[in-house]
Amino acid sequence: MIGTLTHLNCTQCGAGLDVLGGGRVQTHICPYCGSELDAQDDYKVITQFRDMERPNTPFDIGQVGDLWGVEFTIIGTMAWTEYYAGKSWVWVDHQIYSPTHGYAWLTVEDGWVTFVRKSRDIPSPAFVSKSKIDHSENRPVVRLGGEKFKYYASGRAKPTYIEGEFNFRPSMDDTMDYVSFLGGERMLDIVSSAGEREYEVSTLPDQAAVIASFGVTSDRRPRPRGVNPMQAVNRSPMQLYLRNLCLAAAVISALIGATLLGMGKTIAESSRTSISGTIDLPFTVTDGGKLTQITIWSNAYNSWAWFEAELTDAEGESVAEFENGVEYYKGSDWSEGSQKTRTRLKLPEGDYRLNLSMTESQIDWNGGRLASQMQASVQAGVASTKWLFTTSILFALIAAYFLGGRLLHNSRRWAGSDWSDD
């Protein structure tokens, strides 16, 4: 009986052939003479394929391996090539068979091995035409089994090599039109060939495990290139914890810094005076353990102004001298700089006097206005917030590293897509 046949001789060339694919096999293509034999009619010769070039693949017919706990045998090999705009893409499909789980495919492309199985479920919508893809403003989407799949690529391919057993009748004259959609960790293909439409779902098995399971030798081991579209980012719980911890620390540090910015008490403030004069502002520090902040204001607009200041004590001795500038620029929907500048000092308790004057100003933008007024104020008990904002930035950069890695990986997943938002 054919159902128990394990070996036969090619009815065209007499070469010995193994029978591996079970009772639903329709054709068997001899690797020696290229003859296509009808497995349902005493292996009569249907046609003969000539001048086929064997593809580069790590797998051979007859190899047995484990996929998610199910033993499959490789029974057929079919290579495909797609040409478009002077470029070509090549991949190899291996039909595999399990007595308990039926027929499926192992596909090798760009060094990646994927598991492909036909789906009896129909996606919604059931078909996306090339015209719809070309004229759609947004990336087309289909849904299957509650999962959303986004358009990835489409094209037309032709077989370049056929060998072994298949549960259908392949031909070198076939063409296959496909539309691919990418989900979270699976890919859905709508495949049209010989007037029939089928749906295939691809998953990415553990590469090292599948290579080892099928007994691929080290010299034939494929070398994956780039990131596979189905290779989603799987962060460890510790990485997710560190990312969230850094985000929380960045926000908390910034909030504390913003709160401390509002601390401090104004102990002296001058009136607004002409930029051509000077400001002479006395003040008294009663808590030498905290910072004293001197704020200079000027009405510079699309211009800058430079100031010199001197602090003297009750005896008129110079305690500190400093220079600082104000620059402020504004457009129709943007602004840059500030009309205030601040200097912080740690002063002992005592009486002081601030002497302030402008030394230089200049217009740097069309429609600018030179500073004409200035004002000074002194706040006591000001907290230092620089370290808090520095800490916030540091934690934000660490969190951005984790987030940026995910964004970069996802962009590489979609790098092979032919969709353009332009």
Query: Which residues of the chain fall short of a pLDDT of 50?
Result: 1-3
CATH architecture, domain 264-382: Sandwich (2.60)
* CA–CA dist 10, 36 (Å, integer): 9
Residues of the chain with CATH 2.60.120.380: 264-382
Q: What is the pTM of this model?
A: 0.67
Are 63 and 74 within 8 A, CB to CB?
A: yes
Q: Please say whether the beta carbons of 329 and 339 come within 8 A.
A: no
What pLDDT does 348 receive?
92
Q: How far is CA 152 from CA 61, 62, 126, 191, in A?
A: 31, 33, 16, 14
Label residue 256 exposed, middle or buried (CB < 10 Å: 0-12, 13-18, 19+). Answer: middle
Look at residue 4 in the predicted model and tell me its pLDDT: 63
pLDDT value of residue 2 = 40
